[in-house]
C-alpha cells in the first residue's frame, strides 16, 4: 500500500504537525505515566484501524520496556489480568473518548473512575492524549499511511 500523498511535506501539514508535536510535549509533561500513554495510544489506534499508529505505538512501547504480553492483550484489556486499575481506567476513558459516535460520549462513571487514579494535571494530559491520538489516526487513515516500516524514535 502506498500513501495517497505526503501530507507532512506540505506547508500546511508541516504547520499542523508543529502544533501537534508541541501539544504532545505538553502531554508528556503532565505526569501521565509513559506506560499508560503508550497503552492509550495503541488502543485508540486499534479502534480507529490506523495501521501506521498501531505499528508506531506498539514498537515505541516495546522499545520503552513494555512487555509483549501486555501489548498483545491491549485489545482485550477487560479480560486481561496484566493491567493495573489505573491503566484500566485510562483505557476505558480512551475507548469511550474514541468511540464518541457509538454512544452518549464519556459516562460519568468512567470519568469518576479515571479521576480516582489520576490528578488534574494527569487527567488534562490523558484527555489531551486521547484527542491527539485520534487526530493522528484520522490524518494517517485518510492519507493511507502504510504500516510496518516505523523504527522507534524515528520522529525524534
pLDDT per residue as tens digits for the range 124-154: 999 999 999 999 999 999 999 999 999 998 8
Q: Provide the total of helices (H) and of strands (E) in the chain, helices listed first.
A: 7, 0
pLDDT per residue as tens digits for the range 71-110: 999 999 999 999 999 999 999 999 999 999 988 799 999 9
Which domains are seen in the chain, by residue range? 7-140 (1.20.1290.10)
State the pTM of this model: 0.96
Rounded distance between C-alpha atoms, residue 7 and residue 145, angstroms: 10
Rounded distance between C-alpha atoms, residue 102 and residue 40, angstroms: 18
Contact criterion met (CB below 8 Å) for 26 and 20: no
Contact criterion met (CB below 8 Å) for 121 and 28: no
* Residue 104: predicted pLDDT: 79
Amino acid at each position: 500500500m502506498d500513501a495517497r500523498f505526503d501530507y507532512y511535506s506540505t506547508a500546511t501539514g508541516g504547520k499542523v504537525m508543529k502544533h501537534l508535536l508541541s501539544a504532545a510535549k505538553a502531554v508528556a509533561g503532565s505526569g501521565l505515566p509513559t506506560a499508560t500513554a503508550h497503552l492509550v495510544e495503541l488502543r485508540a489506534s486499534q479502534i480507529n484501524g490506523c495501521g501506521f499508529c498501531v505499528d508506531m505505538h506498539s514498537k515505541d512501547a516495546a522499545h520503552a520496556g513494555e512487555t509483549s504480553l501486555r501489548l498483545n492483550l491491549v485489545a482485550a484489556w477487560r479480560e486481561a489480568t496484566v493491567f493495573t486499575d489505573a491503566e484500566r481506567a485510562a483505557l476505558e476513558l480512551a475507548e469511550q473518548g474514541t468511540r464518541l459516535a457509538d454512544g452518549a460520549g464519556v459516562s460519568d462513571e468512567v470519568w469518576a473512575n479515571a479521576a480516582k487514579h489520576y490528578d488534574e494535571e494527569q487527567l488534562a494530559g490523558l484527555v489531551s492524549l486521547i484527542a491527539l491520538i485520534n487526530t493522528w489516526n484520522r490524518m494517517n487513515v485518510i492519507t493511507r499511511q502504510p504500516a510496518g516500516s516505523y523504527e522507534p524514535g524515528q520522529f525524534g
